């Protein structure tokens, strides 16, 4: 990780082998770079989710290629696709089964607001049933947009006060 | 240390176990959030150990109300919804819908439009079968197949994006024509894609076709007999894998398919392996059709010029001439004016036969639109097919049926 | 585009009650509901229409009588032609139709969907329950008197309802869908919302 300014680069010969930082920064850094998604791939956005995990767009560079379908092992639920009223209790149940800390990315127009399906069967936005951290627009959003949302989520997580939450809970 | 235990004894003793000590059947729900169910499908199993005794698929987790929406939209406004039916090959759905509505008006589109539709539909077929292959590979444990297939699909996505503006969910066709003409040089790029694709396809198929693990998981699994395939309304590679050589592109050619020479692969036993082989061969035949379509690519109009009340005139005429302005206004606000009547048109989509039954009372909005979805009919055989197989065989069967829930539930 | 021209005469001779139906493409017949299965069987066994491609129904709206028409589409893999069969349901309030599951096993799911969407019961069906909506859903969505936005009801899972306090709501249409009504004078032909019965400002009418 080299920068133009050599004074910022960490050099163990000069500074020693102990890095002093804030607990929040360390915890958030670890959480950010291994954000394992729980792919709630429901419809067409799931195909773009798969494309972002494939070789060209490679979500693995962000540490998020471990797409575990088990909610216990996942950090971030990516709701990709239209949530219908029949599916909504299932999404909520799986969200409840995830262990904290957990975040939700609403991918695509249908997950954010119901999209173009204003009908009797479509939940008008997954935020009616789970709390959402990042919304991605697009129908479907390009894989670059999903990666941008992942980066935005990482920015959000970077600013969280994780240690006080851990100690208070 | 000798024990008096031997297998024949155990079997005899097991037969004498009284009824109340027999193991109970387990009820297991697979899905709707499951990596191998290809979308939101839920199967309610009754299991005896690992063996399936009853399977009840529960669908409808992606039912978005497309048919009700169609009754409230003009014909052109409904085109984006057709993309999201079989969202792995949207261009094929667009074409099927456009031709169905054009049959209502008895409208024939010019040869260039037909050729472009055939080219895009065959590219969509290759894309869909690659996805089916990739997903099947990943279900039975082959990660590399998935990666190779998706890289080829990315190349196709780039071509689609240049043509329509979107990687998939293209909304490319309109009633009476297309969204726009092919850009310059696009047809040559498709040609180049076809040339480099066949060796890579051989490489991908070579990873699975003679692979002992894949053969063990698919040969003899999920055998669909000929009679069953016809009774349950199976179509597409699922039907052809069972030995019925029905392909609408050959039997009832539409959009100029009669000009192209191609073969239709038909399977012998109807197991998962046959369906996999059918899809692989269909991709090669699609490339064959593409090469012919590109070689014969005609010039001329890309939309029906004389369909004044159906296809919007070009923009420069709209802005300068009164009659075209009125036509455009009517088409955009009320929709393409269709005569009253009923029509049913089916197209050979990658997943099977996609049919549109349109009941029109005149005007720009249909009275009833029924979408006959191939995945809906393909899945209906699941209760009969899964019984007697192990749970891991069910994963193999689901992959070989290659359905997509967007189409099944609409 | 091939059409089976002899089928019209063949069916009319065998079943005098089957009248031709107006159709823009394939031969079509109207049959009384009681004879529908017999005609279907004849078409399958004697005329070679081995595939049941589609089974659906049309709601002509609550003012019309008969209100519901069930439509079958058959395809012959040997002759490569289609035929359409339509039968009106006798009752408008409790529509019933005999089930074709005895002839084609694939009719099972199609009939379940027609029941789910339009409320038409098929007698002789082994397991007639909802397929696309959840079992406890109280309405038949494709009926013409049901709005596109839907009607409020409860979610299928009481635990989740209690936890999240959400339910099925009527979708906010915001004045859409935007389609003009034909026959209006052009100065009035701004797209008016076809289904504006429920939105953020108007209460649901009774």
Domain parsing of chain B, residue ranges: 74-373
Tell whether C172 and C90 lie within a shared domain.
no
Q: Cα(B166)–Cα(B158) distance, rounded to whole angstroms?
A: 9
Chain B hits for A48, CB-CB cut-off 8 Å, are: 167
User: Using CA atoms, how far apart are residues C158 and C162, in angstroms rounded to an integer?
Assistant: 6
Highest mean pLDDT among A3-17, B85-99, B323-337: B85-99
Please tell me the distance from the alpha carbon of residue B152 to that of residue B130, in angstroms, as a whole number.
Answer: 8
C26 and C100 share one domain? yes
Q: pTM of the prediction?
A: 0.89
Q: Count of alpha carbons within 13 Å of A89, Cβ hemisphere only? A: 15
Q: Which domains does chain A have, with CATH numbers?
A: 33-154 (3.40.50.12280)
The DSSP-derived string for A112-157 is: HH-TT--STTB-S-GGGTS--SEEE-SSSPPHHHHHHHHHHHHHHH
DSSP bridge pairs for C29: C20, C85
Edge-to-edge order in the sheet of strand B51-58: B26-30, B42-48, B51-58
The domain that holds C61 is classified in CATH as: 3.30.460.80
Which pLDDT score is estimated for C132? 93
CA B1 to chain centre: 61
Collect all residues with Cβ–Cβ distance below 8 Å to C7 and sequence separation of at least 6: C27, C43, C47, C81, C83
Distance CA B181, CA A34 (A): 45
The residue in chain B having the minimum alpha-carbon distance to the alpha carbon of residue C196 is B72
Rounded Cα distance, B68 and B63, in Å:
11
SS3 B355: strand
Check whether B281 has a pLDDT greater than 50: yes
- Taking CB atoms and an 8 Å cut-off, how many pairs form between chains B and C? 128
Flag if C54 and B344 touch (Cβ within 8 Å): yes
**Which residues from chain A sit within 8 angstroms of residue B146, using beta carbons?**
54
- pLDDT for the residue numbered C186: 54
Domain assignment of residue C112, yes or no: yes
In this structure, the strands spanning C19-20 and B338-349 are: unpaired
CB C31 within 8 A of CB C12: no
Provide, as residue numbers in chain B, all residues whose Cβ is less than 8 Å from the Cβ of A84.
Answer: 60-64
Query: In terms of pLDDT, which residue wins out, B10 or A130?
Result: A130
Per-residue pLDDT at A62 exceeds 50: yes
3-state SS assignment for residue A51:
helix
Of the candidates A58, A54, A52, the residue with the CA atom closest to the CA atom of residue A142: A52
- Confirm whether C33 is domain-assigned: yes
Cβ–Cβ below 8 Å for B61 and A84: yes
Q: Does B36 or A28 have the greater pLDDT score?
A: A28
Residues of C with CB under 8 A from a CB of A: 132-134, 139, 141, 146-151, 155-157, 159-160, 163-164, 166, 168-174, 176-177
Same domain for C116 and C31? Answer: yes
Q: CB distance B168–A54 less than 8 Å?
A: no
Give the residue carrying structure tokens 């959009």: B255
Instruction: Clarify whether residues C15 and C104 are in a common domain.
Output: yes
In the prediction, which pLDDT does A93 show?
Answer: 92
**Interchain proximity A129–C172, CB inside 8 Å:** no
| Shared-domain flag, residues C34 and C101 | yes
Distance CA C11, CA C15 (A): 6
Nearest by Cα to C27 from C75, C62, C67:
C75
pLDDT digits (tens, 9 = 90+) for A18-44: 777 888 888 898 888 888 998 888 998
Contact: B169, A122; criterion CB under 8 Å: no
Residue C115 inside a domain? The answer is: yes
Q: Tell me: do C99 and C153 sit in the same domain.
A: no
From the list A51, A84, A142, the residue facing B150 with the nearest CB is: A51
Element (H, E) at B192: helix B186-208
Distances in whole angstroms, Cα of residue B80 to Cα of each of B70, B149, B306, B370, B378? 11, 26, 25, 16, 24
- Of B86, B168, B153, which Cα lies nearest the Cα of B356? B86
Residue C129 lies inside a defined structural domain of this protein: no
Identify the pLDDT of residue C197.
56
How crowded is residue B264: how many other Cβ atoms within 10 Å of its Cβ? 16
The answer to whether B342 and B359 have CB atoms below 8 angstroms apart is yes
Question: In sequence order, what are the residues at sequence separation of 6 or more whose Cβ sits closer than 8 angstroms to the Cβ of residue C134?
Answer: A85, A86, B60, C156
Element (H, E) at B190: helix B186-208
pLDDT classification of A1: cutoffs 50, 70, 90: very low
Residues of C in contact with B335 (CB under 8 A): 179
Give the gap in angstroms from C-alpha A141 to the nearest C-alpha of chain B. 10
As beta bridge partners, residue C122 has C97
Could you say which of A44, A54, A90 has the minimum Cβ distance to residue B84? Answer: A44
User: Is residue C99 a part of any domain in this protein?
Assistant: yes
Pick the more confident residue, B4 or C97.
Answer: C97
pLDDT value at position A83? 93
DSSP output for B268-295? SS-SHHHHHHHHHHHHHHHHHHHHHHHH
In a domain, C35, yes or no: yes
Q: Are residues C108 and C193 in the same domain?
A: no
Helix (H) or strand (E) run with residue B48 in it: strand B42-48
Gap between the Cα atoms of B370 and B375, Å rounded: 14
pLDDT of residue C188: 53
End-to-end Cα distance, chain B? 65
Q: In angstroms, what is the C-alpha Rg of chain A?
A: 18
Contact (CB<8Å) C1/B232: no
Residues B57, B383: contact at Cβ < 8 Å? yes
Contact C54 B104 (CB under 8 A): no
Q: Give the H/E segment covering residue B353.
A: strand B352-363
Is residue C96 in a domain?
Answer: yes
Report CA B3 to chain centroid distance, whole Å.
Answer: 58
Does residue A102 or residue C10 have the better pLDDT?
Answer: A102
Q: Is residue C19 part of a domain?
A: yes
What percent of chain B shows pLDDT beyond 70?
A: 94
Strands A134-136 and C192-193, by their bridges, are unpaired
Phi/psi at B358 (5° precision): -115, 125
Q: Using a pLDDT cut of 90, give the percent of chain C over it.
A: 34
Q: Which domain holds residue C187?
A: 147-201
Distances (CA, A) of B53 to B223, B394, C46: 16, 12, 37
Q: Is C37 in the same domain as C99?
A: yes
The CATH topology of domain B74-373 is: Cytochrome-c3 Hydrogenase; chain B (1.10.645)
Q: Do B77 and C179 touch (CB under 8 A)?
A: yes
Give chain C's domain count.
2
Burial track B373-386 (b if 16+ CB lie within 10 A, e otherwise): bbbbbbbbbbbebb
Length of chain B, please? 410
Say if residue C107 is in the same domain as residue C22.
yes
Instruction: For residue B376, give the nearest of C119, C131, A116, C141 by alpha carbon.
Output: C131
For residue A129, the chain C residues in CB contact (below 8 A) are 160, 164, 166
Domain shared by C118 and C184, yes or no: no
- What rounded mean pLDDT belongs to chain B? 89
pLDDT digits (tens, 9 = 90+) for C145-184: 898 888 888 888 888 888 888 888 888 877 667 777 666 6
pLDDT tens column, B184-225 = 899 999 999 999 999 999 999 998 889 898 999 899 888 999
């Amino acid at each position: 990780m080299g920068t133009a300014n050599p004074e910022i680069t960490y050099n163990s010969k000069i500074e020693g082998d102990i890095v002093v930082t804030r607990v929040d920064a360390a915890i958030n850094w670890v959480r950010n770079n291994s954000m394992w998604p729980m792919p709630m791939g429901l419809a067409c956005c799931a195909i773009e989710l798969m494309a972002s995990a494939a070789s060209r767009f490679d979500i693995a560079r962000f540490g998020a290629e471990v797409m575990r379908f088990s909610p216990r092992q996942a950090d971030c639920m990516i709701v990709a696709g239209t949530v219908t009223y029949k599916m909504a209790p299932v999404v909520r149940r799986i969200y409840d089964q995830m262990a904290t800390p957990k975040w939700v990315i609403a991918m695509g127009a249908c997950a954010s607001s119901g999209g173009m399906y204003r009908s009797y069967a479509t939940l008008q936005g997954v935020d009616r049933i789970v709390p959402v951290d990042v919304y991605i627009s697009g129908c479907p959003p390009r894989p670059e947009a999903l990666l941008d949302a992942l980066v935005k989520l990482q920015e959000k997580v970077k600013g969280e006060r994780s240690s006080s939450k851990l100690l208070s809970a | 240390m000798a024990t008096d235990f031997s297998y024949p004894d155990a079997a005899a003793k097991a037969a004498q176990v009284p009824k109340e000590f027999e193991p109970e059947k387990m009820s297991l729900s697979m899905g709707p959030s499951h990596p191998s169910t290809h979308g939101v499908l839920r199967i309610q199993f009754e299991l005896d150990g690992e063996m399936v005794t009853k399977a009840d698929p529960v669908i409808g987790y992606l039912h978005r109300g497309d048919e009700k929406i169609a009754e409230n939209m003009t014909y052109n406004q409904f085109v984006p919804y057709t993309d999201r039916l079989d969202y792995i090959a949207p261009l094929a759905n667009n074409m099927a819908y456009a031709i169905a509505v054009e049959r209502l008006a008895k409208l024939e589109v010019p040869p260039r439009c037909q050729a472009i539709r055939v080219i895009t539909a065959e590219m969509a077929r290759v894309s869909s079968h690659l996805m089916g292959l990739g997903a099947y590979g990943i279900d039975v444990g082959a990660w590399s197949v998935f990666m190779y297939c998706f890289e080829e699909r990315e190349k196709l996505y780039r071509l689609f994006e240049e043509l329509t503006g979107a990687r998939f969910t293209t909304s490319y066709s309109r009633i009476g024509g297309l969204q726009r003409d092919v850009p310059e040089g696009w047809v040559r790029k498709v040609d180049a894609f076809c040339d480099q694709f066949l060796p890579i396809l051989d490489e991908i198929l070579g990873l699975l076709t003679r692979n002992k693990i894949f053969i063990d998981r698919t040969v003899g699994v999920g055998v669909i007999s000929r009679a069953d395939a016809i009774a349950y309304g199976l179509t597409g590679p699922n039907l052809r894998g069972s030995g019925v050589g029905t392909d609408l592109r050959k039997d009832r050619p539409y959009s100029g398919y009669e000009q192209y020479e191609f073969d239709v692969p038909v399977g012998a036993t109807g197991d998962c392996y046959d369906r996999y082989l059918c899809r692989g061969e269909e991709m090669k035949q699609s490339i064959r059709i593409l090469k012919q379509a590109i070689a014969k690519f005609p010039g001329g109009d890309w939309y029906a010029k004389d369909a004044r009340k159906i296809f919007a005139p070009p923009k420069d005429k709209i802005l300068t001439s009164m009659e075209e302005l009125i036509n455009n206004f009517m088409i955009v606000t009320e929709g393409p004016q269709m005569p009253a009547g009923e029509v049913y048109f089916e197209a050979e989509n990658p997943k099977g036969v996609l049919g549109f039954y349109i009941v029109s009372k005149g005007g720009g909005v249909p009275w009833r639109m029924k979408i006959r979805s191939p995945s809906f009919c393909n899945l209906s055989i699941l209760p009969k097919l899964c019984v007697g197989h192990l749970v891991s065989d069910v994963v193999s069967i689901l992959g070989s049926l290659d359905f997509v829930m967007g189409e099944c539930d609409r | 585009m091939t059409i089976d021209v002899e089928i019209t005469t063949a069916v009319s001779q065998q079943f005098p009650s089957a009248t031709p139906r107006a159709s823009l493409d394939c031969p079509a017949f109207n049959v009384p509901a009681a004879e529908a299965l017999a005609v279907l069987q004849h078409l399958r066994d004697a005329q070679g229409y081995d595939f049941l491609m589609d089974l659906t129904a049309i709601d002509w709206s609550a003012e019309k009588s008969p209100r519901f028409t069930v439509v079958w589409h058959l395809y012959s893999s040997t002759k490569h032609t289609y035929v359409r069969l339509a039968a009106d349901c006798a009752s408008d309030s409790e529509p019933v139709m005999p089930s074709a599951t005895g002839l084609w096993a694939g009719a099972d799911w199609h009939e379940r969907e027609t029941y789910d969407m339009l409320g038409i019961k098929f007698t002789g069906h082994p397991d007639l329950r909802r397929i696309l909506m959840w079992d406890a859903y109280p309405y038949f969505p494709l009926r013409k008197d049901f709005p596109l936005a839907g009607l409020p009801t409860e979610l299928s899972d009481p635990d989740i309802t209690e936890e999240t306090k959400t339910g099925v709501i009527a979708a906010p249409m915001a004045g859409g869908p935007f389609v003009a009504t034909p026959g209006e004078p052009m100065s009035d032909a701004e797209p008016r919302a076809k289904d504006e019965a429920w939105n953020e400002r108007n209460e649901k009418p009774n």
